[in-house]
Structure 1
């Protein structure tokens, strides 16, 4: 006899809603004119180069930022919505991340990235990258749900420091430069 999932489980129904959100987001991005895959014609699991392939493949140096989004959404959900089942909190997190992906690929945000950050040639994400970004966030959410808080914090700091060392950018700087650009940081990020 099958047992009913407990209140703490994320069940098949929750994952079905997550999949529906991802399909809806992908359809909306396609309607917006986003490319399904990189215009280079390939799909790479990991794209390490800092070039026009950024935000076009399954993972790149900005993937840790999306995993950290998952950490943050899990933490916020635990603090503010503790009485709601984790599956419902996951659906909310996926909805917010999907909404951001759609907004991020709008002309207003693409142009903001070009004007305020070092992403001078940024043209937006491919659909496969946007779907992967939301999936990476969900992975971060699941990770934060399963490990002690100190481990999640340590991994987040490690991701931020690694990205900072390798590409002179990370989630913290990305948010700062998008919201309140600082010319000295932009100059440093560009290698000046």
Structure 2
């Protein structure tokens, strides 16, 4: 696993470098680094190590593991981990482009969304890797149950989750937006 771990670290360095070159802030402009930021609609959301969108990144890892185990069963877990990291890093970069940030602002409740800090993007990559590692060790039914639990937890806590986030980003539904607004 030494080579895949080194590859993942390289991916993280390249991702952080690209994000910094794009003008992303290294840490929250508030000057703090928090382990948990619990206000989904607050200015510190997507700026710290963990927030209410962290479960969606863990679910990314569960899904990436399942998809790659199905699509590439002959590959080592390390090789699949590298590919999952590339996909997550590519999403973190795409998510922080002006086009996607603007799409979040217009299609979802994230009216004040400014994008992620580099710290948050690196943490999101780490959370995905945690989900991937969990899925590598659990039976698929347990991974499925964990993913459903995280989706329901986020839905209950903030009226948003990975499923709604993707739906609202790709095909916004006014009724869901109104429900999310409370």
TM-score, length basis structure 2: 0.99
Distance 1:147 1:85 in 2: 17
Runs of 4+ in 1 over 3 A off after TM superposition: none
Equivalent in 8, 17, 42 of residue 18 of structure 1: 8
Residue in structure 1 matched with residue 59 of structure 2 by the alignment? 68
Larger Rg: 1
Residue in structure 2 matched with residue 8 of structure 1 by the alignment? none
Matched, 1:86 2:54: no
RMSD (CA atoms): 0.5
Unaligned segments of structure 2, at least 5 residues:
none
Matched, 1:177 2:168: yes
Distance 2:111 2:175 in 1: 16
Provide, for residues 45-94 of structure 1, a one-character-per-residue CA deviation record: whole Å limited to 9, x for no partner: 01111201110000000000000000000000000000111111100000
Distance 2:119 2:87 in 1: 18
1:150 is displaced (CA, Å) by 1.1
Residue in structure 2 matched with residue 36 of structure 1 by the alignment? 26
TM-score, length basis structure 1: 0.93
Map 1:34-183; keep pairs closer than 5 Å. Answer: 34-50=24-40, 51-183=42-174
The count of residues paired between Structure 1 and Structure 2 equals 181
Unaligned segments of structure 1, at least 5 residues:
1-10
